[in-house]
Structure 1
Amino acid sequence: MDAERRRIGFLLFDGVKALDFVGPAEVFSEANLATEAYEILFFSPTGEGVEAFMGLRLGVDGAAADSGPLDTVIIPGSELAPAVFDDPELRAAILSLSQRSRRVASICSGAFGLAATGLLDGFPATTHWKFADMLADRYPLVAVDSERIYTRQGDIYTSAGVAAGIDLALALLEEDLGTDVARSVAQHLLVYMRRSAGQSQFSAALKLPAPRTPLAQAVAEYVSNDPTRPTTVTGLAAHVNVSPRHLTRVIREELGVTPSAYIATLRLELAVNQLENGRTVAESAAAAGFSSAAALRRAFVDRYRTTPSAYQRRFRASSVTDAPSPVEDDLPSPA
């Protein structure tokens, strides 16, 4: 084996979520088609095969204690978290592998494994949003951020679930071999390359509960079909043949927001999509129904704590470092 190949080790265990390690492993495997830069290895705490959460039996290359030096160790997650990481053998394997590796990464609830060994104490970390509160409660020394899709502190990385593991693997690949290789791998895998670490786990629209009643569904469909058209509560109420007061009550009960706030959320989501597709701030504002680029900037800063321009640069950069602070002259002028 070429001594210069980077050894990437995945720690597998009973109950592991297959997508958490298969996705990132495919990123490095795809890179090998052009570069042969990586040796991809799979370990378990004992060296015995394991059974994934889905029931699939998996063989491994050996025991964690016999791994030898590694460039990177990746700890996938499990639907059985956090209890699965209470196993002393699994914790010992995580600690053993981390001590032999240049960098350590977790996918989804694998963050519980890093936290259990103290590797995340005092550091920012993320995990799948459904595990975030449990992680914060169990490990108060960890600065849990459920919004970010991945984090980096020195040579320790954490990521949210499944797709975010691929984002993190692409970021590590870019760090190792450069943007061109990472972009090529992303293209071959038919995934986005440029989701940055600071990008939210949620789209704006997905933060709202799905409408249940026919009235709320009709409103959602009307707004979603064309968020750019001028829309008022009175106009919406007329469209669905109810009073503005009744409409407001139903939308509040269904979605937890006012009709105006719901419209604003949908428009902001559309603007984000436009920015990610390379449109300018002014073009994105117009396509999403904002009155001006400045109005979009104000809404963007209020929701995402950054400007559209800064978000777009971050999205293009595909950096594993923390998102840059907004550029001062990108910020909207005070109203």
Structure 2
Amino acid sequence: MPRDVVLVIFDGFQLFDLAGPADVFATANLLLRADGYRLRVAAVRAGAIPTHSGIDVVAQLSLGEVAEPLDTLLVAGGLSVPSRLRDRALVGGIARLASSARRVASVCSGALLLAEAGLLDGRRATTHWLTADDLASRYPGVQVDADSIYVRDGDMWTSAGVSAGVDLALAMVAEDHGHRLARDVARGLVVYLHRPGGQSQFSVPLRALTPRSEPLRELQAFIDANPCADLSVPALARRTGMSARHFSRVFTAQTGVPPGRYVERSRADAARRLLETTDHPLDRVARECGLGSPETLYRVFRRHWRISPGDHRRRFHLKES
């Protein structure tokens, strides 16, 4: 029997919050050569629903027409969410359907709708980083994780902004049908091999500001491209013609990250790529990403990606044939 997935939308929702997860489930069906998932779109009223981008999407059902129970209820987000929190038909419909669903999920600011429906009280949850403070202030009973790509707390799943809905849906496919299918779906969609939910919403470049200074921008690129180089503060300072103390102050002021922390994050990202794309043993991965030893690799990898190097490889390794 196909798993019944209902995707909830509303006026002004973010189109990608719907399209990303829907394409993940649809691609899983294609690869399974079976109807693993039955997808339906619902809104307070059936018919054409305008997105934030101005494109209309047809909701096949009104929320009141959706029969229970469901396998998965997934609520989209969008810039219009704050104005929808007082929509009793929307919030009440979500609460009703959630009561019979095996799992409930949100993408981006859709977490606010789940919280307004009382579904996140006492739970860990995430949302787009721009919305995290609003979620925490409006709903103090929610344990807001403002950094993770997605968070699963029991049967409740929440994800960060926009493209993180793809990661969440891939994780659901992995839970339902195994990691191999999830990897194949990711390859089919030409998206990043699906990431563990504990990973940060921010990649190494996004975590740091772009320096105003051209020499520091070039240095940033050099660090990311050469993890095995001498990236100590004195060595980096020499490359910029500054004293070590002055370099540290300027780099931190312009990027928001101390140079040593930026280097460690960059090396952790290099290690992640090697684990996913090679069969190198951990001692070689540690050497090639500039971390030296498997022990240091383990400690740094856990700190930045919240998973051990071995577990990450087992879950996400994909060597090109």
TM-score w.r.t. length of structure 2: 0.88
Structure 1 position 22, deviation (Å): 0.6
Q: Which residue of 1 aligns with 2:66?
A: 67
For the structure 1 residues 260 and 93, does the alpha-carbon distance in structure 2 shift closer, same or farther, using more than 3 Å as the test? same
Describe how 1:257-268 pairs up with structure 2 within 5 A: 257-268=257-268
1:30 to 14, 27, 31: 27
Contact 1:64 1:96 in 2 (8 A): no
Describe how 1:1-335 pairs up with structure 2 within 5 A: 4-33=1-30, 34-69=33-68, 70-278=70-278, 279-304=280-305, 306-313=307-314, 315=316
Q: How many residues align?
A: 314
Structure 1 position 150, deviation (Å): 1.8
Q: Equivalents in 2 of 1:57, 1:291: separation in Å? A: 54
Structure 1 position 89, deviation (Å): 2.4
Residue identity matched to 1:13:
F
Q: Equivalents in 2 of 1:193, 1:225: separation in Å? A: 21
For the structure 1 residues 118 and 252, does the alpha-carbon distance in structure 2 shift closer, same or farther, using more than 3 Å as the test? same
Residue identity matched to 2:245:
R
For the structure 1 residues 240 and 86, does the alpha-carbon distance in structure 2 shift closer, same or farther, using more than 3 Å as the test? same
Q: Which moved more, 1:29-38 or 1:305-314?
A: 305-314
Q: Equivalents in 1 of 2:209, 2:247: separation in Å? A: 17
Residue identity matched to 2:164:
A
Q: Which moved more, 1:50-59 or 1:128-137?
A: 128-137
Q: Equivalents in 2 of 1:292, 1:18: separation in Å? A: 45
1:169-191, CA deviations, whole angstroms, 9 ceiling, x for partnerless residues?
A: 12222333344443332322223
SS across alignment from 1:40: strand
Q: Equivalents in 1 of 2:159, 2:41: separation in Å? A: 19
Structure 1 position 164, deviation (Å): 2.0
Contact 1:10 1:42 in 2 (8 A): yes
Residue identity matched to 1:239:
R
Structure 1 position 302, deviation (Å): 4.4
SS across alignment from 2:191: coil
SS across alignment from 1:265: helix
Contact 2:179 2:315 in 1 (8 A): no
Q: Which moved more, 1:121-130 or 1:306-315?
A: 306-315
Residue identity matched to 2:112:
F
Q: Which moved more, 1:53-62 or 1:278-287?
A: 278-287
Q: Which moved more, 1:307-316 or 1:288-297?
A: 307-316
Contact 1:218 1:240 in 2 (8 A): no
For the structure 1 residues 186 and 238, does the alpha-carbon distance in structure 2 shift closer, same or farther, using more than 3 Å as the test? closer
Structure 1 position 53, deviation (Å): 0.5
Q: Equivalents in 2 of 1:263, 1:179: separation in Å? A: 31
For the structure 1 residues 115 and 202, does the alpha-carbon distance in structure 2 shift closer, same or farther, using more than 3 Å as the test? same
Q: Equivalents in 2 of 1:172, 1:257: separation in Å? A: 34
Contact 1:205 1:265 in 2 (8 A): no
Contact 2:182 2:194 in 1 (8 A): no
Q: Which moved more, 1:189-198 or 1:282-291?
A: 189-198
For the structure 1 residues 221 and 10, does the alpha-carbon distance in structure 2 shift closer, same or farther, using more than 3 Å as the test? closer
Q: Equivalents in 2 of 1:112, 1:292: separation in Å? A: 43
Contact 1:78 1:84 in 2 (8 A): no
For the structure 1 residues 89 and 251, does the alpha-carbon distance in structure 2 shift closer, same or farther, using more than 3 Å as the test? same
Structure 1 position 213, deviation (Å): 1.4
Q: Give the % identical residues.
A: 38
Residue identity matched to 1:235:
A
Residue identity matched to 1:255:
T
SS across alignment from 1:252: helix
Unaligned runs of 5+ in 2: none
For the structure 1 residues 178 and 303, does the alpha-carbon distance in structure 2 shift closer, same or farther, using more than 3 Å as the test? closer
Q: Which moved more, 1:185-194 or 1:69-78?
A: 185-194
TM-score w.r.t. length of structure 1: 0.84
For the structure 1 residues 179 and 223, does the alpha-carbon distance in structure 2 shift closer, same or farther, using more than 3 Å as the test? closer
